[in-house]
Amino acid sequence: MANVNWRTINIDLLDPESPANFSTSSLAPAVASVSASEVQSLSSQIKQLLRGGDSEGALRGALENPPYGGDAAAKEVHLATVVEILQSIKQSEMSPMLSRIYGSDGGVEVLDVLMKFLYKGMSHTSQPSSASTRSMSPQSTGFSQIHSRGGGEGGGQAMSVLLSWHEKLVEIAGPGSIIRVMSDRRTV
Protein backbone atom coordinates (compact mmCIF):
# COMPACT_ATOMS: atom_id res chain seq x y z
CA MET A 1 0.00 0.00 0.00
CA ALA A 2 2.96 2.29 0.53
CA ASN A 3 3.83 2.16 -3.19
CA VAL A 4 0.55 3.84 -4.33
CA ASN A 5 1.00 7.39 -5.59
CA TRP A 6 -2.12 9.12 -4.30
CA ARG A 7 -1.69 12.02 -6.71
CA THR A 8 -2.40 9.83 -9.74
CA ILE A 9 -5.75 8.44 -8.56
CA ASN A 10 -8.67 9.90 -10.51
CA ILE A 11 -11.15 10.55 -7.73
CA ASP A 12 -13.84 11.59 -10.23
CA LEU A 13 -14.21 7.95 -11.21
CA LEU A 14 -15.14 7.11 -7.63
CA ASP A 15 -17.94 9.71 -7.43
CA PRO A 16 -21.20 8.43 -9.03
CA GLU A 17 -22.40 11.97 -9.80
CA SER A 18 -19.17 12.97 -11.52
CA PRO A 19 -19.23 14.15 -15.14
CA ALA A 20 -16.65 11.46 -15.88
CA ASN A 21 -19.34 8.84 -15.17
CA PHE A 22 -22.00 10.61 -17.25
CA SER A 23 -22.62 9.49 -20.81
CA THR A 24 -22.63 12.51 -23.10
CA SER A 25 -24.44 10.52 -25.80
CA SER A 26 -27.70 11.20 -23.96
CA LEU A 27 -27.27 14.92 -24.65
CA ALA A 28 -27.40 14.57 -28.42
CA PRO A 29 -30.91 14.08 -29.82
CA ALA A 30 -31.52 11.00 -31.93
CA VAL A 31 -31.58 11.76 -35.65
CA ALA A 32 -32.67 9.52 -38.49
CA SER A 33 -30.05 8.39 -40.96
CA VAL A 34 -30.32 10.03 -44.39
CA SER A 35 -28.60 8.74 -47.51
CA ALA A 36 -27.01 10.92 -50.16
CA SER A 37 -29.48 9.65 -52.76
CA GLU A 38 -32.44 10.78 -50.63
CA VAL A 39 -30.88 14.23 -50.25
CA GLN A 40 -30.20 14.34 -54.00
CA SER A 41 -33.84 13.52 -54.84
CA LEU A 42 -35.07 16.12 -52.34
CA SER A 43 -32.67 18.62 -53.89
CA SER A 44 -34.07 17.98 -57.37
CA GLN A 45 -37.65 18.45 -56.08
CA ILE A 46 -36.67 21.70 -54.39
CA LYS A 47 -34.97 22.95 -57.55
CA GLN A 48 -38.18 22.17 -59.46
CA LEU A 49 -40.06 24.46 -57.09
CA LEU A 50 -37.41 27.13 -57.57
CA ARG A 51 -37.61 26.87 -61.37
CA GLY A 52 -41.40 27.09 -61.09
CA GLY A 53 -41.09 30.45 -59.35
CA ASP A 54 -42.02 29.30 -55.83
CA SER A 55 -38.89 30.48 -54.07
CA GLU A 56 -40.55 30.58 -50.64
CA GLY A 57 -41.79 27.01 -51.05
CA ALA A 58 -38.35 25.91 -52.16
CA LEU A 59 -36.71 27.61 -49.18
CA ARG A 60 -39.25 26.19 -46.75
CA GLY A 61 -38.88 22.70 -48.26
CA ALA A 62 -35.12 22.82 -47.93
CA LEU A 63 -35.22 24.10 -44.36
CA GLU A 64 -37.93 21.75 -43.09
CA ASN A 65 -35.91 18.70 -44.15
CA PRO A 66 -32.32 19.26 -42.99
CA PRO A 67 -30.04 16.20 -43.36
CA TYR A 68 -29.02 15.94 -39.70
CA GLY A 69 -28.29 12.23 -39.99
CA GLY A 70 -26.60 12.40 -43.38
CA ASP A 71 -22.96 11.91 -44.23
CA ALA A 72 -20.68 14.75 -45.33
CA ALA A 73 -21.56 14.35 -49.02
CA ALA A 74 -25.29 14.56 -48.33
CA LYS A 75 -24.82 17.66 -46.19
CA GLU A 76 -22.72 19.32 -48.92
CA VAL A 77 -25.41 18.66 -51.54
CA HIS A 78 -28.09 20.15 -49.29
CA LEU A 79 -25.92 23.15 -48.43
CA ALA A 80 -25.36 23.83 -52.14
CA THR A 81 -29.12 23.65 -52.72
CA VAL A 82 -29.88 26.08 -49.88
CA VAL A 83 -27.21 28.54 -51.05
CA GLU A 84 -28.58 28.35 -54.60
CA ILE A 85 -32.06 29.16 -53.30
CA LEU A 86 -30.78 32.06 -51.20
CA GLN A 87 -28.88 33.51 -54.16
CA SER A 88 -31.97 33.36 -56.37
CA ILE A 89 -34.16 35.40 -54.01
CA LYS A 90 -34.10 39.17 -54.45
CA GLN A 91 -33.01 41.32 -51.54
CA SER A 92 -36.34 43.16 -51.47
CA GLU A 93 -38.14 39.82 -50.96
CA MET A 94 -35.99 38.68 -48.01
CA SER A 95 -37.68 40.46 -45.08
CA PRO A 96 -41.31 39.78 -46.11
CA MET A 97 -40.50 36.12 -46.78
CA LEU A 98 -38.70 35.70 -43.45
CA SER A 99 -41.58 37.43 -41.65
CA ARG A 100 -44.11 35.05 -43.22
CA ILE A 101 -41.99 32.02 -42.28
CA TYR A 102 -41.46 33.35 -38.75
CA GLY A 103 -45.20 33.87 -38.23
CA SER A 104 -46.13 30.38 -39.43
CA ASP A 105 -46.28 27.18 -37.35
CA GLY A 106 -42.76 25.99 -36.56
CA GLY A 107 -41.33 29.16 -38.05
CA VAL A 108 -38.78 29.70 -35.29
CA GLU A 109 -37.28 26.25 -35.83
CA VAL A 110 -37.21 26.75 -39.60
CA LEU A 111 -35.36 30.05 -39.21
CA ASP A 112 -32.92 28.42 -36.79
CA VAL A 113 -32.14 25.83 -39.47
CA LEU A 114 -31.60 28.69 -41.94
CA MET A 115 -29.15 30.24 -39.48
CA LYS A 116 -27.28 26.91 -39.32
CA PHE A 117 -27.00 26.84 -43.10
CA LEU A 118 -25.83 30.46 -43.17
CA TYR A 119 -23.01 29.71 -40.74
CA LYS A 120 -22.10 26.51 -42.57
CA GLY A 121 -22.05 28.39 -45.88
CA MET A 122 -19.91 31.16 -44.42
CA SER A 123 -17.41 28.63 -43.10
CA HIS A 124 -17.15 26.97 -46.49
CA THR A 125 -16.74 30.11 -48.58
CA SER A 126 -14.04 31.49 -46.30
CA GLN A 127 -11.80 28.43 -46.63
CA PRO A 128 -9.43 28.47 -49.59
CA SER A 129 -9.81 25.51 -51.87
CA SER A 130 -6.90 23.23 -52.66
CA ALA A 131 -6.93 24.38 -56.30
CA SER A 132 -6.47 28.01 -55.33
CA THR A 133 -3.61 27.24 -52.95
CA ARG A 134 -1.75 25.37 -55.68
CA SER A 135 -1.79 28.44 -57.92
CA MET A 136 -0.28 30.78 -55.34
CA SER A 137 2.61 32.83 -56.57
CA PRO A 138 4.94 34.36 -54.01
CA GLN A 139 5.41 38.09 -54.37
CA SER A 140 8.55 40.05 -53.65
CA THR A 141 6.64 41.94 -50.95
CA GLY A 142 6.23 38.79 -48.89
CA PHE A 143 2.52 38.49 -49.65
CA SER A 144 1.06 35.73 -51.75
CA GLN A 145 -1.32 36.26 -54.60
CA ILE A 146 -4.02 33.66 -54.03
CA HIS A 147 -6.38 34.56 -56.87
CA SER A 148 -5.60 36.06 -60.20
CA ARG A 149 -7.41 39.25 -61.19
CA GLY A 150 -11.05 38.56 -61.90
CA GLY A 151 -10.80 35.09 -60.37
CA GLY A 152 -12.19 33.81 -57.13
CA GLU A 153 -15.09 36.23 -57.08
CA GLY A 154 -17.76 33.54 -56.66
CA GLY A 155 -16.89 33.00 -53.01
CA GLY A 156 -17.12 36.73 -52.29
CA GLN A 157 -20.50 37.00 -53.96
CA ALA A 158 -21.82 34.00 -52.02
CA MET A 159 -20.46 35.46 -48.79
CA SER A 160 -22.19 38.76 -49.51
CA VAL A 161 -25.51 36.99 -50.06
CA LEU A 162 -25.10 34.94 -46.87
CA LEU A 163 -24.25 38.03 -44.83
CA SER A 164 -27.31 39.86 -46.21
CA TRP A 165 -29.52 36.93 -45.21
CA HIS A 166 -27.87 36.83 -41.79
CA GLU A 167 -28.61 40.51 -41.24
CA LYS A 168 -32.28 40.14 -42.21
CA LEU A 169 -32.65 36.94 -40.19
CA VAL A 170 -31.32 38.54 -37.01
CA GLU A 171 -33.70 41.49 -37.57
CA ILE A 172 -36.68 39.13 -37.78
CA ALA A 173 -35.81 36.25 -35.42
CA GLY A 174 -33.60 38.18 -33.01
CA PRO A 175 -30.26 37.23 -31.48
CA GLY A 176 -31.85 34.25 -29.72
CA SER A 177 -31.60 32.38 -33.00
CA ILE A 178 -27.81 32.66 -32.88
CA ILE A 179 -27.74 31.29 -29.33
CA ARG A 180 -30.01 28.37 -30.20
CA VAL A 181 -27.91 27.47 -33.24
CA MET A 182 -24.63 27.64 -31.31
CA SER A 183 -25.96 25.42 -28.53
CA ASP A 184 -27.70 22.84 -30.74
CA ARG A 185 -25.71 19.64 -31.19
CA ARG A 186 -27.39 18.76 -34.50
CA THR A 187 -25.34 19.98 -37.44
CA VAL A 188 -26.30 20.56 -41.04
Res. 84 pLDDT band, cuts 50 70 90: very high
Find the range with the poorest average confidence among 38-47, 54-63, 121-130: 121-130
- What percentage of residues in the chain have a pLDDT greater than 70? 82
Angle, nearest 10°, between helix axes 107-126 and 91-103? 140
Res. 23 pLDDT band, cuts 50 70 90: confident
What is the pTM (predicted TM-score) of this model? 0.76
Kindly tell me the burial class for residue 35, based on how many C-beta atoms sit within 10 Å of its own C-beta (0-12, 13-18, 19 or more): middle
Q: How many residues are there in the chain?
A: 188
CA separation, residue 172 to residues 47, 115, 121, 124, 176 (Å)? 26, 12, 20, 25, 11
pLDDT at position 58 is 97
